[in-house]
Amino acid sequence: MINVGNALIFADEAAFQGSNGLLSMFSNTNGTGLPILDSSLTAITQALQIPVIILLIAFLVFAVYTLGKLLSEHLSRKKVPVSLIKDMIYAIYDAESAEDIKNVVNNADIQKSQKRILSELADSEHLGKKSRETLARRLIANEEDKIAQNINKTDIVTKIGPTLGLMGTLIPMGPGLAALGTGDVTTLASAITIAFNTTVIGIGAGAIGYFASKLRRRWFGEYLANLDALMDAILDNIDKRDERLK
């Protein structure tokens, strides 16, 4: 006769051993639980190390170039006092013709780009009032677009530089910690050196980009404020002369 109790116990043990074998195919206590996934993630992250380092070097070169360009802009920048803008507004408003306005603008110590825009607006006296205002808004918007494109470059370095630095820190630490488990101190030291270097470069490039963006925003803010005030004065002058002709 078959002992039913022993048969059930034997079946339970077989099922338990089978389940352990099935789980062992997917278990990995050292990673995600899937060896194939672990190896894939490791390969992907290690493949990113060289591109990250190249990008960090490029960002560092751009940051140094930006710093030198910023110094050059500071030395060549014309500091326009409020008193000069005030005198120009009065002179522009009292001008009797477009040529008088352009003489005031060209003789003033302001940026060449401001002179070009103001002269272009002064020559628009033959346009209607709405057309002149539309032209003035478009000229201002064009300058704002140029400024935004200039600042966006350093903003990218400010935001992406530290991120790349963090990636450059974490990527080599995986193999480094694995080497520590096997007692390979040399590999660990090399990984830590790469991690520290990439962190410093990423944070340094981001700091230079932040400083450049901050300073340029202040300069360009003054530039646009002065330009807007002078353009309003020109529009008021043209409107005043139009009313005299009516």
| Burial of 178 (C-beta count, 10 Å sphere; 0-12/13-18/19+) | middle
Summarised one tens digit per residue, pLDDT across range 46-91 is 888 899 999 999 999 999 999 999 998 888 887 888 999 999 999 9
| Confidence grade of residue 246 (pLDDT, cut at 50, 70, 90) | low
The whole domain housing 56 covers 50-245
Instruction: Output the six-digit token pair for 80.
Output: 């326009």
Does 23 score more than 80 pLDDT?
no
Quote the longest CA-to-CA distance of the chain: 126
| 40 belongs to a structural domain | no
| 1 belongs to a structural domain | no
| Predicted pLDDT at 1 | 40
| 195 belongs to a structural domain | yes
Domain count, the chain: 1
| 38 belongs to a structural domain | no
Q: How far apart are the first and last CA of the chain?
A: 125
| Predicted pLDDT at 4 | 43
Instruction: Output the six-digit token pair for 151.
Output: 């600042």
Segment 24-29 shows an average pLDDT of 42
* Percentage of residues in the chain having pLDDT higher than 70: 85
* Residues 6 or more apart whose Cβ sits within 8 Å of residue 63: 157, 161, 204, 205, 208, 209
| Confidence grade of residue 36 (pLDDT, cut at 50, 70, 90) | confident
Summarised one tens digit per residue, pLDDT across range 149-199 is 989 999 999 999 999 999 988 888 888 887 888 888 888 888 899 999 999
| 4 belongs to a structural domain | no
| Predicted pLDDT at 154 | 92
Summarised one tens digit per residue, pLDDT across range 100-137 is 999 999 999 898 889 999 999 999 888 888 999 999 99
| 28 belongs to a structural domain | no
Does 221 score more than 60 pLDDT?
yes
| 17 belongs to a structural domain | no
CA 132/CA 129 separation, integer angstroms:
5
| 95 belongs to a structural domain | yes
Segment 1-25 shows an average pLDDT of 42
Q: Following DSSP, what letter does each residue of 197-212 receive, concatenated?
A: HHHHHHHHHHHHHHHH
Does 3 score more than 80 pLDDT?
no
CA 63/CA 170 separation, integer angstroms:
23
| Predicted pLDDT at 2 | 41
